[in-house]
Structure formats: C-alpha cells, structure tokens
A = this chain, B = another copy of it.
Amino acid sequence: MIRVTAFRWVPPFARGLVRDLRVRWALEEAGLPYETRLIGFEDRGTPEHRARQPFGQVPVYEEQAGNEPPSVLFESGAIVLHIAECSGTLLPRDPAARTRAIQWMFAALNSMEPHVQTFALIVGFWKDEEWAKLRRPFAQQMAEKRLDELAARLGEREWLENEFTAGDLLMVSVLRILRETDLVDLRPALAAYVARAEARPAFQRALADQLAPFAENPPPAAS
C-alpha cells in the first residue's frame, strides 16, 4: 500500500505545481496504484505531520506492507528516485546511463530550480514588492542563462538521455514553474520538450488527480 500526502486545496497559482505532482507522475509512470492523505495548510505544523515531514511540506510518501508500520519518506526528488529504483522504470538499465539520469535529477533540483523558482516568485507572488522590482532583471538573466544552457545540451534530442527518465520528469516539473512567463516558449526546443512530457498519459492522470480535490474542497477559513 502506497499513500501520498497532498493538499486538499491550494490557490490557483499553485495548482498543477505542488510537488506531490512529481510523485504522482512517477507512480503513474511506474503503474503503481496509491491512495492519498489530503491535508489542509493548517495541518502543516501539527506534530503528526512534522513527524512525517520535518519541514511541514508536501508530499509525504508512505509505503506499508500488511500490518508492518509504514516506512515514511519525504523530499519529492528522493521519493521519485525510490519509486524509480523499486519499479525498474524511469531509470535506464545500463549503469552509466542510470548514473547520468540521476545526474539530471540533481541538476533539475539544485542547478535549475533555485533560479527558476526565484524568478517565478519575483514576477508572480512578490511582483508588487519594491525589492522584487529591483531584483527582477538579474533574476531573469540568471533563469535565462540556465534555460539557454539546458537548451544547448538538449539540442535536437527528445529527452536528456536516450529514453524518458526520472531526470526528464523532474526537469520538466521545474520548467513548468515558468508557465506564467514566456521564458520557456521563447526557446522552442524547451517548449517542445515540456509539451512532449506533458502529453504522456501518466502526466495527464497525475495532473487530473492533483487538481480534482481543489474543485471539491473550499479554501481554508481565513485565520
């Protein structure tokens, strides 16, 4: 039994970006069924949630066999890697190619995402703040530099390695953070790369399943 913790409601700007999507997508690619534990923002600080996720984030991944206590894992990158290793999908069998796929997982989360996230927050969430207006040009320059470097490496290839891997899954998840900007669209190779990944049935199922509860649940009462 696999259980993924996700939010029962998030505001529109976060829908389709909350990180449980990365785990749902990997599970769909692997053909592994799962159930969800839906929580509210107000649950992020509870002792029960903190015991599973020390930073109060989602997702949490729980795996349980029979009456054993569940094994609990957090950090979406680590969970995607765990799913890939357990299922034999999303990582090439050849050891060198497998290592390179894992390299792209780390590249997505440590070399791309900090710059992408910073820019997306500056033009979105923080756009009316004075510091954000001052910082926007540099943040854009850094994000564009990384995108150009990624596009140069991707070239005409379909995926970063010879097949779709967990590295592509995380890289595309990071690029999607820029959806309210034109930075990806201005680079046709990257736009096509994201579109190819988003067209995968596993992604479509994962996205629909993340979004479904948001339509059914009310926002939390103002606190």
Contact (A106, B77) CB under 8 Å given A114-B114, A149-B56, A152-B50: yes
How many residues on A have C-beta within 8 angstroms of the other chain's C-beta atoms?
A: 41
Q: At the interface, is chain A mostly helix, strand, loop or mixed?
A: helix
CB-CB < 8 A to A118: which residues of B?
114, 118
Please determine whether A78 and B106 come into contact, CB atoms closer than 8 angstroms: yes
Which B-chain residue is minimally distant from A82 (CB atoms)? B99
Contact (A100, B73) CB under 8 Å given A54-B150, A131-B134, A153-B54: yes
Task: Count identical subunits in the complex.
Answer: 2
Asked if A205 is an interface residue, CB under 8 A from chain B, the answer is no
On A, residues with C-beta under 8 Å from B are 50, 54-57, 71, 73-79, 81-82, 96, 99-100, 102-103, 105-107, 109-111, 113-114, 117-118, 129-132, 134-135, 146, 149-150, 152-153
